[in-house]
Amino acid sequence: MSNMKTIVGFTFKNKVKTKSFIVTTIILILLVTAGINSFYVMSLFNKDEGGPAKAEVVAMVNDTEGVAPALQAYYKKQSDSKLSIQVNDGSGDPATDEAKLKQDLAAKKIAGYLVASEGKAGEFPKFIYKSSNIRVTGDSTTKSLETALGSVKTDFIVADSLTDAQKKQLSEPITMSLEQVAVSEGNAGTNQTEEQKIAANILVYVMLFLFFMTAYMTGNMIAAEVTAEKSSRIMEILITSVSPLSQMFGKVMGMFLVGLTQIAVFVAAVAVNVNLPHNVAVLKEAHIDMSQIDPMLLIYGLVFYILGYFLFAVLFAAVGSMVSRTEDLGQAIMPITLLSLASFYISMFSLATPNTMLVKVASFIPFTSPTSMILRLGLGEVAYWEVWLSIVLLLVAIFIFGWLSAKIYRTGVLMYGKRPSWKELRKAMKAYKI
Amino acid sequence: MNALQVEQVVKVYGDKRAVNQINLEVGRGEIYGLLGANGAGKTTTMRMVLGLIYPDEGNIRYNGKGYSKELNRLMGYLPEERGLYPKIKVSEQLVYLAQLRGMSKADADRSLKYWLDRFNVPEYYDKKIEELSKGNQQKMQFIAAVIHKPQIIIMDEAFSGLDPVNVELLKETVKEVRDEGASILFSTHRMEHVEELCQNITILHKSNTVLQGNLKEIKSQFPRESVMLGTDGEVTGLQQIAGVTKVDRLETGYKIGISDEQAAQEILRTAMQQRTVNRFEVVEPTLNQIFIKAVGERHE
User: Which range, A150-164, B142-156, B160-174, B226-240, has the best average confidence (pLDDT)?
Assistant: B142-156
How many CB atoms within 10 Å of residue A129? 17
Which pLDDT belongs to residue A294? 77
Kindly state the percentage of chain A with pLDDT values over 90.
19
Res. B264 pLDDT band, cuts 50 70 90: confident
Domains and CATH numbers, chain A: 2-38+181-432 (no CATH), 54-171 (3.40.190)
Over chain B, what is the mean pLDDT? 87
The residues pairing with A122 across neighbouring beta strands, listed in sequence order, are: none
Instruction: Give the distance from residue A231's alpha carbon to the nearest chain B alpha carbon, in angstroms.
Output: 8
Whether residue A55 is predicted with pLDDT greater than 70 in this model: the reply is no
Nearest-CA residue of chain B relative to A5?
A: B100
Work out the average pLDDT over A187-210. Answer: 75
CB contact under 8 A, A14 and B92: yes
How far is B19 from A70, CA to CA, in rounded Å? 105
Whether residue A15 is predicted with pLDDT greater than 60 in this model: the reply is yes
Of A233, A414, A432, the CB nearest to B82: A233
Q: Does B67 touch chain A (CB under 8 A)?
A: no
How many CB atoms within 10 Å of residue B38? 7
Which pLDDT belongs to residue A261? 92
Nearest-CA residue of chain A relative to B13?
A: A431
Task: Give yes or no for a contact between B47 and B41, defined as CB atoms under 8 angstroms apart.
Answer: no
Q: Does B20 touch chain A (CB under 8 A)?
A: no
Which pLDDT belongs to residue A90? 66
Task: Give yes or no for a contact between A359 and A374, defined as CB atoms under 8 angstroms apart.
Answer: no
Q: Which of residues 95-114 of B touch A (CB under 8 A)?
A: 96-97, 99-102
Whether residue A110 is predicted with pLDDT greater than 90 in this model: the reply is no
Which pLDDT belongs to residue A192? 64
- Hey, what long-range contacts does A410-413 have (CB within 8 A, 24 or more apart)? A410/A244, A410/A245, A410/A434, A411/A321, A412/A318, A412/A321, A412/A322, A413/A226, A413/A230, A413/A235, A413/A239, A413/A244, A413/A321
How many CB atoms within 10 Å of residue B176? 12
Whether residue B297 is predicted with pLDDT greater than 80 in this model: the reply is no
Which residues of A are less than 8 Å from B101 in CB distance?
241
Work out the average pLDDT over A16-35. Answer: 89
Of A14, A229, A240, the CB nearest to B75: A240
How far is B300 from B298, CA to CA, in rounded Å? 5
Whether residue A54 is predicted with pLDDT greater than 60 in this model: the reply is no
Considering chain B, tell me which residue range(s) the CATH 3.30.70 domain(s) occupy. 223-284
What pairing do the DSSP bridges indicate for beta strands B31-36 and B183-187?
Answer: parallel
Cβ contacts of B33 within 8 Å, gap of 6 or more:
B186, B187, B188, B194, B197, B198, B200, B201, B202, B215
Which residues of B are less than 8 Å from A10 in CB distance?
92, 96
How far is A105 from A112, CA to CA, in rounded Å? 6
Q: Which residues of A86-120 are buried (b: 16+ CB within 10 A; e: fewer)?
A: eebeeeeebeebbeebeebbeeeebbbbbbbeeee
Which pLDDT belongs to residue B189? 81
Over chain A, what is the mean pLDDT? 81
Of B50, B84, B100, the CB nearest to A6: B100
Instruction: Give the distance from residue B224's alpha carbon to the nearest chain A alpha carbon, in angstroms.
Output: 42
Q: Which residues of B154-167 are buried (b: 16+ CB within 10 A; e: fewer)?
A: bbbbbbeebeeebb
Which pLDDT belongs to residue A56? 67
Which pLDDT belongs to residue B298? 58
Q: Does A240 touch chain B (CB under 8 A)?
A: yes
When scoring A13, A241, A411, A423 by the number of chain B Cβ atoms within 10 A, the one with the most, hence best to mutate, is A241
How far is A143 from A300, CA to CA, in rounded Å? 43
Instruction: Give the distance from residue A238's alpha carbon to the nearest chain B alpha carbon, in angstroms.
Output: 8
Picking from B47, B29, B28, the residue whose alpha carbon sits closest to that of residue B187 is: B47
A105 against B214, higher pLDDT = B214
Which pLDDT belongs to residue B117? 93
Q: Which residues of B107-138 are buried (b: 16+ CB within 10 A; e: fewer)?
A: bbbebbeebbeebebeebeeebbeebeeebbb
Considering chain B, tell me which residue range(s) the CATH 3.40.50.300 domain(s) occupy. 4-219
CB contact under 8 A, A234 and B85: yes
Q: What are the backbone dihedrals phi and psi of residue B227, each rounded to the nearest 5 degrees, phi first?
A: -125, 130
- Report helix, strand or coil for A81: coil
Picking from A51, A49, A58, the residue whose alpha carbon sits closest to that of residue A111 is: A58
Task: Give yes or no for a contact between B23 and B8, defined as CB atoms under 8 angstroms apart.
Answer: yes
User: Which range, A82-91, A97-106, A179-188, A330-339, has the best average confidence (pLDDT)?
Assistant: A330-339
Which pLDDT belongs to residue A52? 41
Q: Which of residues 173-192 of A touch B (CB under 8 A)?
A: none
Which pLDDT belongs to residue A431? 67
Which pLDDT belongs to residue B254? 87
Which residues of A are less than 8 Å from B79 in CB distance?
233, 236-237
Which pLDDT belongs to residue A51? 40
Which residues of A are less than 8 Å from B84 in CB distance?
232, 234
Whether residue A50 is predicted with pLDDT greater than 50 in this model: the reply is no
Picking from A325, A304, A329, A275, the residue whose alpha carbon sits closest to that of residue A391 is: A304
Cβ contacts of A196 within 8 Å, gap of 6 or more:
A292, A293, A294
Q: Does B91 touch chain A (CB under 8 A)?
A: no
When scoring A234, A413, A430 by the number of chain B Cβ atoms within 10 A, the one with the most, hence best to mutate, is A234
How far is A58 from A114, CA to CA, in rounded Å? 7
Work out the average pLDDT over A272-295. Answer: 77
Which residues of B are less than 8 Å from A234 in CB distance?
83-85
Which pLDDT belongs to residue A352? 84
CATH node for B223-284: 3.30.70
What are B50-93's pLDDT values in tens digits? 888 888 888 899 988 888 878 888 899 998 877 889 889 999 99
Instruction: Give kind and range of the element (H or E) at residue B9.
Output: strand B4-13
Work out the average pLDDT over A50-64. Answer: 60
Which residues of B are less than 8 Å from A6 in CB distance?
96, 99-100
Picking from B295, B293, B247, the residue whose alpha carbon sits closest to that of residue B271 is: B247
Whether residue B271 is predicted with pLDDT greater than 90 in this model: the reply is no
- Report helix, strand or coil for A284: helix
Measure Cα distances from B191 to A126, A147, B186 in Å.
106, 99, 11
Q: Does B142 touch chain A (CB under 8 A)?
A: no
Q: Which amino acid is at A105?
A: L
How far is A377 from A22, CA to CA, in rounded Å? 33
How far is B83 from B81, CA to CA, in rounded Å? 7
Q: Does A399 touch chain B (CB under 8 A)?
A: no
Nearest-CA residue of chain A relative to B12?
A: A431
Task: Give yes or no for a contact between B26 and B18, defined as CB atoms under 8 angstroms apart.
Answer: no
Which pLDDT belongs to residue A37? 85
How far is B148 from B30, CA to CA, in rounded Å? 18
What are A135-191's pLDDT values in tens digits? 666 677 777 788 888 878 877 777 777 777 877 777 677 777 766 666 554 455 555
Q: Does A432 touch chain B (CB under 8 A)?
A: yes
CATH node for B4-219: 3.40.50.300
CB contact under 8 A, B83 and A234: yes
Q: Which amino acid is at A385?
A: W
What are B274-289's pLDDT values in tens digits? 888 888 888 888 888 8
How far is A226 from A218, CA to CA, in rounded Å? 12
Which pLDDT belongs to residue A80? 65
Q: Which amino acid is at A303?
A: V
In terms of phi and psi (left: phi > 0; alpha: psi -120 to 50; beta: otherwise), the region of B181 is: left
| Packing angle, helices A19-49 and A277-285, rounded to 10 | 60
CB contact under 8 A, B53 and A240: no
Query: For chains A and B, what is the number of CB pairs under 8 angstroms?
Result: 64
Whether residue A95 is predicted with pLDDT greater than 80 in this model: the reply is no
Q: Does A20 touch chain B (CB under 8 A)?
A: no
Q: What are the backbone dihedrals phi and psi of residue B200, each rounded to the nearest 5 degrees, phi first?
A: -120, 145
Q: Does B75 touch chain A (CB under 8 A)?
A: yes
- Hey, what long-range contacts does B160-164 have (CB within 8 A, 24 or more apart)? B160/B80, B160/B188, B160/B189, B161/B134, B161/B135, B162/B135, B162/B138, B163/B135
Q: Which of residues 195-224 of B touch A (CB under 8 A)?
A: none
B269 against A157, higher pLDDT = B269
Instruction: Give kind and range of the element (H or E) at residue B20.
Output: strand B16-26
Q: Does A427 touch chain B (CB under 8 A)?
A: yes
In terms of phi and psi (left: phi > 0; alpha: psi -120 to 50; beta: otherwise), the region of A233 is: left
Q: Does B92 touch chain A (CB under 8 A)?
A: yes
